[in-house]
Structure 1
């Protein structure tokens, strides 16, 4: 009866895991759900529509720049939109702007301001254009998008067009803003919700004669006009620039408010077919490794263990069989590391902390709770999970260190609390100094650095010591076999059993299981796009864990067969 119950329990567990993975797959593939934490706003005709500006970004320098570091048109009073810690860490500096937008009220060639630039300011614009900086606007929490010359969607629009190192670049001093709205679920055709926000930039070398009589707009700003482009000549002593904009309203009832972010996700995350192909490719790797592990267990371990467990015959007693391979080192399998056992325990404990942090954060992200519209929330979730899971790191490292019968438990706990976070914080602090010296918006304010430092020292470290306290109070983990007092000598190893070869082989297969998702994640970071198929990423993460475990089993088995017990 117990075997039948175990089989039923195993089937239920497998069914739960299948349902679990399918839910996340559909959560990633199905985009038609409302983004949590975002309030749906219905505007009436004549309502003022605030337009905010965000940091300038570049895929070449990867260093964001404050919008008003360049001499753009300023509002009468600069105001920062309320920001959280995650927005500071991700260089989102959202500020107000002088743009005057009114719902359902089109504008043509409106004059934003007139600026007279010096040589240094001209060179500053030219340098940023050469570095391919993008301008970012936000309306109703929706970022502005544009179409590249190749026909792809891009977040933001270019500051200008670079013609070459020696040639003068063009400055985009006019932008045609097209705002799409949906009035299908409103009570009046004069109401609507913002579902699209696009920019079409142009470069116009306006003259004073192009001004209207009132001086509030330009007489021409059409792309087909004969106005020449505006070049930023680095040798010029001064330049007068007229900044203009137009606003068009487009009815888009085919785009629902809940799915208005889909175009950004598709541009940054690719199509679902690509991700399914990646998962199938990773599953093939898992099946290959599972076959190898099963072959090892069935042909080697099962046969030997069965022979050890049965009652030997008189012939087997009379015959002394020579043991070979992994069976020779069974008394040395659980010997503590000869060098730095504390470091081993610290790395395992911190690894459990990082693994659990990644798993918990990915679960919340796959369920749509960390949408890109909630700027900075993903970083906050990572920080909070890492800090709270300090107790797990302390517990695991303490249990492992007590298993090795270590005596310096204070040092083990202190290193668990400070080594990995300390290296990360020190690297972050020194890199922040260089970014601050360059003048980039990526430099985190000192107050935010102090807050991160407090999260580490005031919350994470005490939790690590708390977890270690409970870990050391528990009885030590017992080994299935006794460890001999005298270490067995390790024979010379062949070249293919070196640590370097094990690292290469052990890294190639897990990388092959996740490289497609890794490509999209890194592309979204470096090219300022949005990645949001966290369901696919979660499935790939489970496959990665499975692959790493099976690769470890295979490599450890071959290492033990070579009589090297320092696994």
Structure 2
């Protein structure tokens, strides 16, 4: 039916436009939705990436390993690039340590290969020792075919379901039954299984990519490089070079104990023949659109836990909501409308029609403290927060730092909202490798406009005059500290020759994005916020003489009290944090997909932080303490302390990270993430407190 036909049948115009829009979007490329169809005997490129481990934060490029076949540099059928060619990657892939390159493995749709020899690599003693270390630390290998990571296949205990784990083991270790010593074996034969199904439009699509590694000793290989019975039982290829006893006797004369490995290199080598098999299996039970589901089966099993997390969050949020409702009733409905506690008009309290001028005069009362003491007994029934009407909007200390922090917080808030929205819509999906980081970086840079605008507007509200200085602080403070930390950590990773290290060219590119794009955007936003936008209007005027603040309860002026306010937001978040941490630090796949649950918990978290900040701010005002600006920011972000404490607990009780550099990376990046989280949530708390205070003080007016 045409669009005109739709209109003639009473369909609204906007529906017709929507259908037209959808018809055009079908022609767009959304990452993860581009289907590749193969004909029989058409080559399927196999890309090699990296090795990674749950026990360390250091990753290594596949071709940097000494016991793999180096790239031959030859072009294979159907590939425009020679083997060893680096595939172009986005910023997110580079930052997560991906080093994707073409390989010499040959896969042709529908063509099974019983065995094919790739090469025989000779490795020395140092390489053997490094291989043992990698196997001890549980490294796994990641290959990619048709944008799917090569997976190890598992079945559930009841054998009712199958699921994938990204990557396959580099090798394994076991105890020898002869001497009881631990032996290390390298996987050198790979059985590649490509699962496919017919596409309705013609051709075949890949719906699964499985790899079954095996260790076969060199003596079992024939002249053609393959074992005689490749799928039979074989002894494994042990990573072991017999010691040179004559050399050891010379180095340790008269010693009864000769170490097998003391770090010497006498030129002895170990031959590692590398072979592979390829099989194609038809799989009609999996749709192409659902081919990633097998990677998420383990996360699917925890859906009940996610629902419990949402229920826990709603319960906490509801309890705090009741407290906020009581406070709101007391201030706006009770104190203002009919309890006879007094009202305020134009900054002056009235009681029974008689004005108490001279008690709280706003601008010229130079004897304010004396008047307050003399009339103190006559205003005992006035709520404490009302007494602060002439001080509550007084400019805080270090306002030149608070404005840039709020600006950076708004920048992070925009970025986070955009990422969650795009993830829930499916645009940022697992097949868009590195997309989450890349898009997040783009949103952060673009949000420099918001950062500059809010920082400049708030700075103007505080009465600042050096808006260019405020702009520089906003544009350089948070990004500069973040980049400095990443650069210093990168030096440690560079020293380990790990692919996790950010290349120098990428660092230069990041600096260019920061200085050449974000800084100008912050400048434009700050100029508009300071020069064009009006300052934030306050419902009451500020007196010239600050009010004396009475002694405060411990929970209102101590660090412990501020930290305790972060328990409620942390209680909302900590269950979902367990899944996020497991994905980031253990699975290492980067394929966290339950963004619907995460978005729900995040929304509840924002509401909870707002409620906690309102309660804390109201308690502070009732104690006649008008220093709420910084306190609301710290109260909102105080849950970051508990998140970092949770990181420490997770490190000691769930992770098995070894090595100084890996531990340094964990704690440094955890601290950075908690700082970002605290800045973001602290901004939410600040804005909530400001809106709440404006509302209650603008309502305290009667005729």
Q: TM-score range by the shorter chain?
A: 0.7 to 0.9
Deviation at 1:299, TM superposition (A): 3.0
1:204 aligns with 2:216: yes
Deviations 1:476-514 (A, max 9, x none): 222111222222222232333334234323322112212
- After TM superposition, the structure 1 = structure 2 runs for residues 105-184 of structure 1, keeping only pairs within 5 Å, are 105-147=111-153, 153-163=164-174, 167-183=182-198
Structure 2 Cα separation of the partners of residues 219 and 521 of structure 1: 46
Give the secondary-structure state (helix, strand or coil) at the position aligned to 2:193.
strand
Structure 2 Cα separation of the partners of residues 154 and 220 of structure 1: 28
Per the alignment, residue 525 of structure 2 pairs with 467
- After TM superposition, the structure 1 = structure 2 runs for residues 283-302 of structure 1, keeping only pairs within 5 Å, are 283-302=314-333
1:503 aligns with 2:510: no
Per the alignment, residue 71 of structure 2 pairs with 75
* Mean Cα deviation higher: 130-139 or 498-507: 498-507
1:219 aligns with 2:279: no
Per the alignment, residue 277 of structure 1 pairs with 308
Per the alignment, residue 6 of structure 1 pairs with none
Select which of 235, 259, 263 maps to 2:294.
Answer: 263
Give the secondary-structure state (helix, strand or coil) at the position aligned to 2:548.
coil
Deviations 1:410-449 (A, max 9, x none): 2211100100010011111111121111101011111111
TM normalised by structure 1 equals 0.87
- After TM superposition, the structure 1 = structure 2 runs for residues 339-358 of structure 1, keeping only pairs within 5 Å, are 340-358=398-416
Task: Mark the CA change 1:488 to 1:163 in structure 2 (over 3 Å): closer, same or farther.
Answer: farther
TM normalised by structure 2 equals 0.71
Deviation at 1:301, TM superposition (A): 4.2
Per the alignment, residue 429 of structure 1 pairs with 487
1:89 aligns with 2:95: yes
Gaps in structure 2 of 5+ consecutive residues: 1-28, 74-83, 158-162, 244-267, 345-349, 357-374, 629-703
Is the 2:150–2:166 contact (alpha carbons within 8 Å) kept by the matching residues of 1?
Answer: yes
Per the alignment, residue 545 of structure 2 pairs with 486
Deviation at 1:149, TM superposition (A): 10
Per the alignment, residue 541 of structure 1 pairs with 602
Select which of 614, 625, 635 maps to 1:564.
Answer: 625
Per the alignment, residue 416 of structure 1 pairs with 474
Select which of 548, 554, 578 maps to 1:519.
Answer: 578
Is the 1:110–1:218 contact (alpha carbons within 8 Å) kept by the matching residues of 2?
Answer: no
Is the 2:63–2:70 contact (alpha carbons within 8 Å) kept by the matching residues of 1?
Answer: yes
Structure 1 Cα separation of the partners of residues 140 and 151 of structure 2: 10
Deviation at 1:246, TM superposition (A): 1.9
1:248 aligns with 2:273: no
Structure 2 Cα separation of the partners of residues 285 and 392 of structure 1: 31
Deviations 1:126-146 (A, max 9, x none): 111111111011111111111
Per the alignment, residue 616 of structure 2 pairs with 555
Give the secondary-structure state (helix, strand or coil) at the position aligned to 1:195.
strand
* Mean Cα deviation higher: 253-262 or 35-44: 35-44
Structure 1 Cα separation of the partners of residues 384 and 36 of structure 2: 70
Is the 1:170–1:232 contact (alpha carbons within 8 Å) kept by the matching residues of 2?
Answer: yes
Give the secondary-structure state (helix, strand or coil) at the position aligned to 2:581.
helix
Select which of 414, 430, 437 maps to 1:372.
Answer: 430
Is the 1:108–1:247 contact (alpha carbons within 8 Å) kept by the matching residues of 2?
Answer: yes
Per the alignment, residue 18 of structure 1 pairs with none
Is the 2:32–2:430 contact (alpha carbons within 8 Å) kept by the matching residues of 1?
Answer: no
Deviation at 1:89, TM superposition (A): 1.4
The structure whose Rg is larger is: 2
1:329 aligns with 2:340: no
Task: Mark the CA change 1:563 to 1:43 in structure 2 (over 3 Å): closer, same or farther.
Answer: same
- After TM superposition, the structure 1 = structure 2 runs for residues 425-464 of structure 1, keeping only pairs within 5 Å, are 425-464=483-522
Structure 2 Cα separation of the partners of residues 476 and 140 of structure 1: 55
Is the 1:176–1:247 contact (alpha carbons within 8 Å) kept by the matching residues of 2?
Answer: yes
Task: Mark the CA change 1:501 to 1:320 in structure 2 (over 3 Å): closer, same or farther.
Answer: same
Task: Mark the CA change 1:246 to 1:427 in structure 2 (over 3 Å): closer, same or farther.
Answer: same
Deviations 1:222-245 (A, max 9, x none): 2x51x2122212665422222122
Select which of 239, 258, 271 maps to 1:232.
Answer: 239
Task: Mark the CA change 1:199 to 1:405 in structure 2 (over 3 Å): closer, same or farther.
Answer: same
* Mean Cα deviation higher: 70-79 or 309-318: 309-318
Gaps in structure 1 of 5+ consecutive residues: 1-33
Per the alignment, residue 9 of structure 1 pairs with none
* Mean Cα deviation higher: 455-464 or 494-503: 494-503
Is the 2:241–2:270 contact (alpha carbons within 8 Å) kept by the matching residues of 1?
Answer: no
Deviations 1:89-130 (A, max 9, x none): 121111111212221122223322212221111112111111
Task: Mark the CA change 1:462 to 1:184 in structure 2 (over 3 Å): closer, same or farther.
Answer: closer
Give the secondary-structure state (helix, strand or coil) at the position aligned to 2:313.
helix
* Mean Cα deviation higher: 247-256 or 314-323: 314-323
* Mean Cα deviation higher: 109-118 or 85-94: 109-118
Structure 1 Cα separation of the partners of residues 328 and 487 of structure 2: 49
Deviation at 1:163, TM superposition (A): 4.2
Deviations 1:195-214 (A, max 9, x none): 01112222222315x41x6x
Task: Mark the CA change 1:563 to 1:284 in structure 2 (over 3 Å): closer, same or farther.
Answer: same
* Mean Cα deviation higher: 160-169 or 533-542: 160-169
Deviation at 1:88, TM superposition (A): 1.2
Structure 2 Cα separation of the partners of residues 39 and 260 of structure 1: 13
Is the 2:193–2:279 contact (alpha carbons within 8 Å) kept by the matching residues of 1?
Answer: yes
Is the 1:353–1:390 contact (alpha carbons within 8 Å) kept by the matching residues of 2?
Answer: yes
- After TM superposition, the structure 1 = structure 2 runs for residues 57-72 of structure 1, keeping only pairs within 5 Å, are 57-71=52-66, 72=68
Give the secondary-structure state (helix, strand or coil) at the position aligned to 2:501.
coil
Deviations 1:32-83 (A, max 9, x none): xx97454211212211221111111111111110101112012311111122
Greater relative contact order (Cα < 8 A, sep 6+): 1
Structure 1 Cα separation of the partners of residues 411 and 30 of structure 2: 29
Task: Mark the CA change 1:185 to 1:116 in structure 2 (over 3 Å): closer, same or farther.
Answer: same
Structure 2 Cα separation of the partners of residues 462 and 275 of structure 1: 42
Structure 1 Cα separation of the partners of residues 490 and 353 of structure 2: 75
Structure 2 Cα separation of the partners of residues 234 and 166 of structure 1: 15
Per the alignment, residue 25 of structure 1 pairs with none
Task: Mark the CA change 1:551 to 1:384 in structure 2 (over 3 Å): closer, same or farther.
Answer: same
